[in-house]
Structure 1
Amino acid sequence: MGRSLAVLVALGGLVAGCTSEPTEAQVKPGGRSFTVAAAGDVLIHPELVEQAAKDAEKTGEGQAGLDFGPLMAGVKPVISEADLAICHMETPVGTPKGPFEGYPEFLVPPQILTTLKDVGYDTCSTASNHTYDHGLKAVRRTLDAMDEVGLGHTGSARTREEAEQINIRDVNGVKVAHLSYSWESFLNPTPEKERWAFNRLSTDDIKKAESRARGKGAEVVILSVHWGLEHYNEPSVPQLALAERLTKETGIDLVIGHHAHVVQPIQKLNGRWIAYSLGNQVARHSSPTGLTEEGAIGWFEFRETADGWDVRARYRTTLVDIPPELEPGKKAPEGAVEDHRLVDVQQALDNPGDLSKERLARYQLAADRTRGFLYNRGAPGGDGLEEFSPGT
């Protein structure tokens, strides 16, 4: 433990000779290793702001009457164990006291960034179809706020010069670059004069960014990509085509997908892992489908071999508990969910305490369904995708 670790895109390939378990002959003597935890979209809908206000009244913590700590606490044991933890900050932030907005033009409390850092995240992708919801001023405010709490970021920029920079972090003695690209919103496109403020999805641009990262000493390159179609548990044909192209034409070591808001498969393609969509890390859509509350934390173990990097993929299922909507004066049934909470599903199943059989059935459904979606492109078999248990 400890911190010692609809449009489209995918992954690539400097990693040679990847297998799920490298033989002793492959392992480089004294070889380095590190772990990466990556999770789905962070979407702070109005109901979650209301929850943070309710929790702040109880805890007396947070800032300006909002405390997102209790909402996110359930994943801290997993996220904080990784050597490098990557989140996807989907939206721009406003000022601590608001006003805030939900869909379709998000403006969310910056207090969520403090919580993401406290949970254990090190850096976040910021390129999405919502990046420019409130223009360049909000892009700059968001990145300033991330700097203030100590969160790294990639995918958007405050200046033309910053847009050329590469987010490279030292992780257990390994230089790891993180890139972020997205399709652009048709509702709020960036003006031509500010196109540098946002990384648009482009195979050529990704290739150039990877080349710059390698030139700056990056030994591993991770790509976060905002792509695909919302609410589909299978990657689209264009996603698959682009994944195939990038795994053959680039040297990117791992691709982390976002935007679908539901879990899609994790697949090893041409020797590299692609997580097509990790679903939502935390969200509360106006019309929850059950699938939009389910997510996965991808857990990737990089081990240096004589030929490059071996990457082992694992996952941890998450679920956002949603309390029932009640008519005024009515009480929730006994054992019902009382608050919005991000749940580590396996932890809840392993330690049920006094949870009702109905809630345990919901958690088991999330575990079974997430496993099915993640495995739907053959990852179990020889590719070796397994569930992750903290401390192992």
Structure 2
Amino acid sequence: MTRHPHLPGIPRAVALALLAATAAGCGLLDTDDDAEVSGPPAFTVAAAGDILIHPQLTDQARKDAKDAGGKGIDFDRTMAGIKPVISKADLGICHFEPVVGKPEGPFQSFPDFLIPPQITTTIKNVGYDTCSTASNHSLDHGPAGVRRTLDALDAAGLKHTGSARNRAESEKPLILDVKGVKVAQLSYTLGFNGREVPADKPWLANKTSFDDIAAAEKAARTAGAEVVILSIHWGREHHPEPGTPQLKLARRLAEDTGIDLVIGHHAHVVQPMEKIDGTWVAYGLGNQLARHDVPTGLTEEGIIGWFEFRKKDGGWDVQARYVPTLVTIPPDPGETAEAAEAGKDPDGGGETPGVKDHRLLNVAEALRDDKDLSDEERARYRLAFERTQGTMLNRGASKDGLKPLQDLPG
């Protein structure tokens, strides 16, 4: 599953040079994919948080397609900033939260999402291999919505788990071959916004139950999985601290199952990582890509978790890193007009003055490589990095070696 990155609109040589610069000094990215590697089996995983397409992001994708001389909806430029990281991992895991509609719409936002299926192509283009699909929005449009979403992921070449079109699909563990290692992915959610899984289709989407997760892990092992990764939709929205139910379930998963890695989402803000009884738990990866109607600053921030697995003493040693990300938000046109009428700074209604487009950024890379950033942009990016770093480490993970994949530029 190794891929070499190539950003849209950037010559391949430039893209590869960018990757080389990115890798310099960061350790885990500084590898030669084509070299013969000796020693025990090893592979890398990149995983990120919620992908939840709000109307402003669809408008941006239409604008980008038009600016490129085409038409339709194209999210590639919005997500291009993370491609050098995701495409370098041996396994890229996304969390696909909403339901897709038809290519031309109509689309819907909160509370029952219906989003452009074109986003699935971009997810594949940036380097993701598989997506978890169990979320509180899985049942927004019933069985037809589940089917349409999984069909779109299939068409884009993405594997998926967490929801299913039939019983046979739900009962077959998702196992991927990652550099010769059989890796299983599980996906579960805390609930479905008050909806219930239909009694005649209990396999439609996975609701969290410790017993069900433990049984799914055993089934994956029986099917040949050497590593099992759990994607779990849990916690309290907009709370940077994991709640008591998360903490209790995390400990039980780490101590009473053989799951090798737990990656969480749903809070829409970054939550810490913690190593429990030898198992890394990422409580909340924040938003990968979203644009809430009322941005809070925290909802634009996220992380890509980077995990290096290496076979050791009959088990797996896992080294954890993280990459702070940020979705930039331009001024709302209505707010800009109001500001102009009031004689105020026209950039005053935006998330950061000077921002023109919605873009998903690797914060450290943006600070290092973009020489044209305004002072306000630099301050905002540094805040995102430092705040994320504080959150990541506030459950003592530094003692277990957790640190950023790329340091904050001086």
**TM over 0.5: same fold?**
yes
Structure 1 counterpart of 2:382, one-letter code = Q
In the alignment, structure 1 residue 75 sits paired with structure 2 residue 82: yes
Cα drift, residue 186 of structure 1: 3.4
Q: Aligned match of 1:45 in 54, 74, 77?
A: 54
Cα drift, residue 120 of structure 1: 0.3
Q: Secondary structure at the match of 2:367?
A: helix
Alignment partner, residue 372 of structure 2: 354
Q: Aligned match of 1:184 in 185, 191, 194?
A: 191
CA contact (8 A) 1:89 1:126 kept: yes
Alignment partner, residue 111 of structure 1: 118
Structure 2 counterpart of 1:389, one-letter code = Q
| 1:237-273 deviations in Å (ceiling 9; x for gaps) | 1110111111111000000001000000011011110
In the alignment, structure 1 residue 228 sits paired with structure 2 residue 235: yes
Alignment partner, residue 197 of structure 1: 204
Cα drift, residue 2 of structure 1: 4.3
Alignment partner, residue 280 of structure 1: 287
| 1:216-253 deviations in Å (ceiling 9; x for gaps) | 11000000000010000010011101111111110000
Question: 5 Å matches for 1:19-38?
Answer: 30-38=39-47
How many angstroms apart in 2 are the aligned matches of 1:215 and 1:185?
29
Identity %: 60
How many angstroms apart in 2 are the aligned matches of 1:278 and 1:186?
21
Q: Secondary structure at the match of 1:276?
A: strand
Cα drift, residue 307 of structure 1: 2.9
How many angstroms apart in 2 are the aligned matches of 1:109 and 1:60?
20
Alignment partner, residue 24 of structure 1: none
Q: Secondary structure at the match of 1:87?
A: strand
| 1:261-293 deviations in Å (ceiling 9; x for gaps) | 000001101111000000000000011000000
Alignment partner, residue 387 of structure 2: 369
Structure 1 counterpart of 2:313, one-letter code = A
Q: Aligned match of 2:139 in 132, 135, 140?
A: 132
Structure 1 counterpart of 2:402, one-letter code = L
Alignment partner, residue 15 of structure 1: none
Structure 2 counterpart of 1:160, one-letter code = R
Q: Aligned match of 1:101 in 102, 108, 124?
A: 108
Question: 5 Å matches for 1:211-250?
Answer: 211-250=218-257
Alignment partner, residue 32 of structure 2: none
Alignment partner, residue 25 of structure 2: none
In the alignment, structure 1 residue 302 sits paired with structure 2 residue 309: yes
Structural RMSD (CA): 1.9
CA contact (8 A) 1:335 1:355 kept: no
How many angstroms apart in 2 are the aligned matches of 1:223 and 1:67?
30
Cα drift, residue 126 of structure 1: 0.1
Greater relative contact order (CA < 8 Å, ≥ 6 in sequence):
1
Structure 2 counterpart of 1:289, one-letter code = T
With normalisation by structure 1, the TM-score equals 0.90
Alignment partner, residue 18 of structure 1: none
Structure 2 counterpart of 1:111, one-letter code = Q
How many angstroms apart in 1 are the aligned matches of 2:69 and 2:181?
40
In the alignment, structure 1 residue 345 sits paired with structure 2 residue 345: no
Cα drift, residue 327 of structure 1: 3.4
| 1:320-358 deviations in Å (ceiling 9; x for gaps) | 000112333845479610000001100011123111011
Q: Secondary structure at the match of 1:96?
A: coil
Structure 2 counterpart of 1:352, one-letter code = D
Between the two proteins, the alignment pairs up a number of residues equal to 365
In the alignment, structure 1 residue 154 sits paired with structure 2 residue 161: yes
Structure 1: tracts of 5 or more residues without a match: 5-20, 22-28
CA contact (8 A) 2:328 2:358 kept: yes
Q: Secondary structure at the match of 1:327?
A: helix
- Against the structure 1 CA distance between its residues 335 and 291, is the aligned structure 2 distance closer, same or farther, given a 3 Å change threshold? closer
How many angstroms apart in 1 are the aligned matches of 2:167 and 2:2?
36
- Against the structure 1 CA distance between its residues 335 and 206, is the aligned structure 2 distance closer, same or farther, given a 3 Å change threshold? closer
Structure 2 counterpart of 1:388, one-letter code = L
Alignment partner, residue 389 of structure 1: 406
How many angstroms apart in 1 are the aligned matches of 2:177 and 2:103?
31
Question: 5 Å matches for 1:57-72?
Answer: 57-61=66-70, 65-72=72-79
| 1:24-81 deviations in Å (ceiling 9; x for gaps) | xxxxx831100000001000011111111111111135xx610101110000000000
Cα drift, residue 185 of structure 1: 1.8
CA contact (8 A) 2:137 2:193 kept: no
Structure 2 counterpart of 1:39, one-letter code = A
CA contact (8 A) 2:336 2:347 kept: no
Structure 2 counterpart of 1:228, one-letter code = G
Q: Secondary structure at the match of 1:314?
A: strand
How many angstroms apart in 1 are the aligned matches of 2:3 and 2:320?
19
Structure 1 counterpart of 2:388, one-letter code = T
| 1:196-231 deviations in Å (ceiling 9; x for gaps) | 100010101011111110001100000000001000
CA contact (8 A) 1:352 1:360 kept: no
How many angstroms apart in 2 are the aligned matches of 1:113 and 1:31?
34
With normalisation by structure 2, the TM-score equals 0.86
